[in-house]
Structures are given as structure tokens and as C-alpha cells.
Amino acid sequence: MKIVAIDTSTKQLSVALSDGKQIVAEASYVTSLNHATKLMPLLERLMVEAKWTPAQLTRIVVADGPGSYTGLRIGATTAKTLAYTLGIELVAISTLELMAASTGHTGRVAAIQDARRGAGFVGVYDAGKRIGEEQHVEIASFVKTLTPDTLVTGDVEAFEEILQPFEKVAPAFRTPRAGVLALLGATRQTVEAHAFEPRYLRLAEAEAKWIEAQRHE
Amino acid sequence: MTQPLILAIESSCDETAAAVVRGGTDVLSNVVSSQIESHKRFGGVVPEVASRHHVERITYVIDDALTEANVTIDDIDAIAVTEGPGLVGALLVGVSAAKALAFAHNKPLIGVHHIAGHIYANRLVQELEFPLVCLIASGGHTELIYMPEDGVYEVIGETRDDAAGEAYDKVARTLQLPYPGGPRIDQLAQTGQDTFHFPRVWLEKDSYDFSFSGLKSAVINAVHNAEQRGETIIPEDLAASFQASVVEVLVTKAVRAVKDKGGRQLLLAGGVAANKGLRQGLEAACAKEGIDLVIPPMHLCGDNAAMIGAAAIHPYRALRYSTLAMNAEPGLDLK
Ligand SMILES: [Zn+2]
């Protein structure tokens, strides 16, 4: 197997190659950089150094959200176009699951992304299994649903006060890693490349307003 | 010599498009997936909604373009894509897809300016003769461009406020016409008379620039004044009067530019090129002045990828390739 994994869903950019059992190469930019300009040169460099050619690839794994809308589209479009044009498998994995898995913690983990104005995208995983639905919620009400033994990861600094009672993942393990993504995706069910879309978990603002207006009529 | 085959992608606004063009002139396929039905409910293009639709449609459109052209990706010599200007989120989908294709098959990548695409849409119907002048009129642009030779652009005039297409949309909204309003105004104008005599804005004597915000306000005022006096406005006449002002200014400046610059051709490009009033005005003026006027057929006036494939042939031959670090450039200048 020759797997490429791509995550551009948060401000971090991460790319990895894997043979399905091990991580062959992995690189991340942790600071906020322009994913559009960095993704393909980074992937190309890893491929060259690993002496892999695009024609040898067997599977693309992509983190499909939630996350930054623009970031999600860059990763999703790149992944689905690669899978389509190379005629290879495409696997989509939740960004929140990836964040939980990237902590290396085997117990219960809540992954949180800051979506501003007190809200966030959240998902809870226990030993890799999802507990409840991933959603866009008020973080203050979300934390009331968490068990005390839950470890929190992601944008924990944005909600420092609310998350005060919970143990936080060390900063080095808070960012999603494409190497972890590649291994998670090695055995997962594939999706159809043409129909694949990122999971935004939120309507576009204009669409939400339009639906609201319809309801009032 | 066999002519190069270019696979082109365009996603700068609300059309997801891909095409295969041979040698910059021969359209083997031209697939356009329009989002207009989706944006109608909002009364205009919503960038986030447009970007999401592009992701849904992009690989279908690329695949259809290859299939219709009866070629495979291996037959393609280069991948061209609209780099800008346009909506950044929308552009990024086309750019990301193009880079993935170029990388996967080790093909040259060519970033194309959207307006260059509109200009070269003309080359799909007639060989270009330089020097030439091109009038660009679309929802986002009103420009006069001088091209001394192939691939060289000099913007000699541009709008100082609204684009012509924008003024059309605003006047359409004032008349409560359904989106997109531009074609509806053109339609109404066909049966109306210029009874309002709106101002023609010429700016400085030798300027090729345009200004449409004053005209737009004059139209809106005319509608409000009539409402206050309890008079009914004949929409056909209002549309005809508005269009007469826009067309006269565009035609006069374009013809003057051709004469001043010694242009061998006048090209019309951009979405507003589909406007019957403007076509008729230009045809009449160019016939009178003996100017060779080139107007693309209707299906090449709106945004499409064949025009991007046509514009890509010059940079392709000049080996002006882009790298995999190419970004979407929402404010890209035409150089
Ligand atoms: Zn256009």
C-alpha cells in the first residue's frame, strides 16, 4: 500500500506518506500559513524524498472536517481530484477524530475547535469510538455533558475558564497529525471521489438566514 | 506539428467549468455547470455557497470535459486554470484541482488571468490581428484593453466606480426584476424608447475611463420621483433609456480607442457581451467607421473554461509555467 494523508482543516497543515502499517514520511506546519501555497510543494517534497511516484499511490486519506471552510476545501478538492485522476481509493476521516487520536490518549477525549463567539465544533471519542454526534455548539453548555475524566484537546486556550475543571492534553499533542490520519485511514471504508464533500457542520450564513426567513413566511 | 491539447479549469465566480482546447483555437469540449439556480434565492452570488458548489461539481466537470473531448488525461499537454481575479474561495477550488492534476500526471501548470480568458474567447471564432483594442464588460469589470501583440495587455481605461454589469443589476433591483437582472433589462429595452434622456458620463476629454454610479443614481431617482408623484413608470422605456446611456458611452469610447491606437480589430468580451443593445450599438458604429468588430457567440460570452484554454496557449508556448505553489489571486492585475 502507498497512502498519502492530507489535513488542511485547521490552521495547521500536515501531510504524510504511509505503507499502511507505518508512517514513511510526515511533515507539518504548525503555525498559520497559507495552505493553498504550501500543500502541494510539501507533498511533492515528501514524495521525492521517499522515492514514490504519483502513479504508485493506492489510497488518499483526508481529514474532512469540521474546520476552516477554506482550509477544508483546499484539502478536499486536492484529495478528491488526486483520487479521481489516479483512479485510486479515497478515505475521509473526521478532523475531530483525528485530533482525539493524535493525542495518543486511549481514554475519553473531547476535541474542540474554536468557532468564535463562545461556540465551537466538538466531538467526544472514547478509545477511538465516537460518543454522540459531532456538532457546532456553545462550549459552555457542551462542557456540562462531559464526564470528569475527559481529557480535552484542540483550541483549549480559547476556552480556558470554561475548561478549567478538565485535564488538558500537552500542547505538543494538541495538533492533528497526518501520520496518525494515514494509519487511521489505512483500513477504513472508502468514499466515492466525485461525490465527496467536506463536512462543514454548519450552513453557509446566507443559507441559514434564508431558511430562517422561509420559516417565518 | 501537432497542436498542444490543454485541459482548462475555471471557477472564479458561480460557474464550475472545464474544457479541452487544441492549439488555443479548437474547442473539443466546453463543460459549464452553472449555479445560477442556487444563487437566485439570495438575489446574487454568495461566495461561501459558490465555493461549496464548486467542490461538489469540480471532478464531475473535469471528467465530462475529457470524455466529451474523447481524450484521456494522458493525451493532455498542460493544465490551465483561472488564477484570478474573482472570489478567492471559489478560485481556490479550481486552483487546487488543477495543481492536483498537474502533480499527479507531471504536466505543466499554467495560471491564466480571467479577463485574458474573456479576450481570447474571441480567438475561438476568429484569428486575432494585432494591435487590437478589447472592450471588457461584465458583472465585475468594465475595461478598455490595448494589446500591441499576442499576450501583451495594457489597460487604457477602466471604471472608476461601478462595473457596467453592476449598474445593470442595481437598476434591475430597482425595477424589482428577478435575478440575474442584466439580461431582463436588455430584453425590456428592446421594446422601449429612450424617453428619460439620462446623462452620459464622459469624464475628462481624452479619458478612456468609465463611471456608471451617477447614471445608476439618476435611474433610481427617476423611479422614486415617479412613485412620489403617483405616476407609473413604463419599465420598457426606463430600461431602454438606461441602456441607451450605457451603450453610447461604451461604444463611443471603444471606437475612439481603436482609432487613436491604430487598432486592427475591436473585440468585445465578458458577460455583458451577450447584451443585444451593446452588440447592435457596436455593430452600427463599427460598420460606419470601417472597424473589424469581433464578438464571441453567446455561449462563449459568459464564464467558461474554453476561453481559459485559449488564453493559455501563449504562456504555454512561451514556457511561462506556474509552480505547485500557485495561489488564488482575487485581485490579480492583467499584465
Ligand atoms: Zn467573467
- Delimit the domains of chain B by residue range: 5-120+301-318, 129-295
Alpha carbon distance B61, A80 (integer Å): 13
Hey, is B292 helix, strand or coil? coil
Hey, is A121 helix, strand or coil? strand
DSSP B83-123: EESS-HHHHHHHHHHHHHHHHHHT--EEEEEHHHHHHHGGG
- Delimit the domains of chain A by residue range: 3-95+175-213, 103-173
- For the segment A108-118, the average pLDDT, to the nearest whole number, is 96
B94 a known binding residue? no
Helices (H) and strands (E) in chain A, counts: 6, 10
- Output the CA B141–ligand 1 centroid distance in Å: 8
Cell numbers 504550501: residue: A38
Q: Beta strand pairing status for A23-29 and A13-18?
A: antiparallel
- Output the CA A133–ligand 1 centroid distance in Å: 42
DSSP B12-72: SSSEEEEEEEETTTEEEEEEEEE-HHHHHTTTS--HHHHHHHHHHHHHHHHHHHHHHHT--
Alpha carbon distance A169, B129 (integer Å): 66
Band of pLDDT at residue A30, cut at 50, 70 and 90: confident
pLDDT given for residue A32 in this prediction:
64
Kindly report the backbone phi and psi dihedral angles of residue A126, in degrees, each rounded to the nearest multiple of 5, phi listed first.
Answer: -125, 115
Helices (H) and strands (E) in chain B, counts: 11, 10
Band of pLDDT at residue A40, cut at 50, 70 and 90: very high
Band of pLDDT at residue A152, cut at 50, 70 and 90: very high
Alpha carbon distance A176, A13 (integer Å): 9
Q: How far apart are the first and last CA of chain A?
A: 55
pLDDT given for residue B7 in this prediction:
98
Q: Report yes or no: A147 at the B interface, CB cutoff 8 Å.
A: no
Taking each helix axis from N to C end, the angle separating B164-174 and B181-190, rounded to the nearest 10 degrees, works out to 80
| CATH level 2 (architecture), domain B5-120+301-318 | 2-Layer Sandwich (3.30)
Is the dihedral angle over the CA atoms A93, A20, A13, A104 positive or is it negative?
positive
The total number of residues written for chain B in this structure: 335
Q: Report yes or no: A86 at the B interface, CB cutoff 8 Å.
A: yes
CATH class of A3-95+175-213: alpha beta
pLDDT given for residue A114 in this prediction:
96
Is the pLDDT assigned to residue A182 strictly greater than 70?
Answer: yes
Tell me which H or E stretch contains A210. Answer: helix A205-216
SS3 content of chain A, % helix, strand, coil (to 5): 35, 30, 35
- For the segment A81-109, the average pLDDT, to the nearest whole number, is 97
Looking at CA atoms only, how far is residue B62 from chain A in angstroms?
Answer: 9
- Output the CA A189–ligand 1 centroid distance in Å: 40
Q: Report yes or no: A37 at the B interface, CB cutoff 8 Å.
A: yes
Name which of A84, A88, A211 to mutate to probe chain B: the one with the most chain B Cβ atoms within 10 A of its Cβ.
Answer: A84
Contact B105, B98 (CB under 8 A): no
Q: How far from B160 is each of A83, B58, B86, B142, B147, CA to CA, in Å?
A: 45, 34, 18, 9, 21
Strand order in the sheet with B109-113: B26-34, B15-22, B5-10, B78-84, B109-113
Name which of B52, B67, B95, B332 to mutate to probe chain A: the one with the most chain A Cβ atoms within 10 A of its Cβ.
Answer: B52
Model ipTM?
0.97
Is the pLDDT assigned to residue A31 strictly greater than 80?
Answer: no
Alpha carbon distance A211, B226 (integer Å): 35
- Output the CA B34–ligand 1 centroid distance in Å: 13
% of residues, chain A, pLDDT over 70: 99
Query: pLDDT tens-digit profile of B230-269?
Result: 999 999 999 999 999 999 999 999 999 999 999 999 999 9
The DSSP code for A116 is S
pLDDT given for residue B1 in this prediction:
61
Looking at CA atoms only, how far is residue A13 from chain B in angstroms?
Answer: 14
pLDDT given for residue B324 in this prediction:
98
Contact B241, B90 (CB under 8 A): no
- Output the CA B258–ligand 1 centroid distance in Å: 23
The segments of chain B whose pLDDT lies below 70 read 1
pLDDT given for residue B65 in this prediction:
98
- For the segment A193-217, the average pLDDT, to the nearest whole number, is 92
Buried b (16+ CB within 10 A) or exposed e, A190-205: bbebbebbbbbbbebe
Q: Determine the Cα angle at A165 with ends A159 and A166, to 5°.
A: 80
Cell numbers 489516479: residue: A86
* 8 Å CB contact of A85 and B325: no
Looking at CA atoms only, how far is residue B4 from chain A in angstroms?
Answer: 20
Alpha carbon distance A127, A129 (integer Å): 6
CATH class of B129-295: alpha beta
Kindly report the backbone phi and psi dihedral angles of residue B173, in degrees, each rounded to the nearest multiple of 5, phi listed first.
Answer: -65, -40
pLDDT given for residue B37 in this prediction:
87
Please give the CATH topology (third level) of the domain spanning A103-173: Nucleotidyltransferase; domain 5 (3.30.420)
Neighbours of ion ligand 1 (CB under 5 A): B 138, 303
Pick the closest to residue A78 from A66, A54, A62 (CA basis). Answer: A62
Is the pLDDT assigned to residue A33 strictly greater than 80?
Answer: no
The DSSP code for B78 is E
Strand order in the sheet with B154-158: B154-158, B142-147, B132-137, B265-269, B293-294
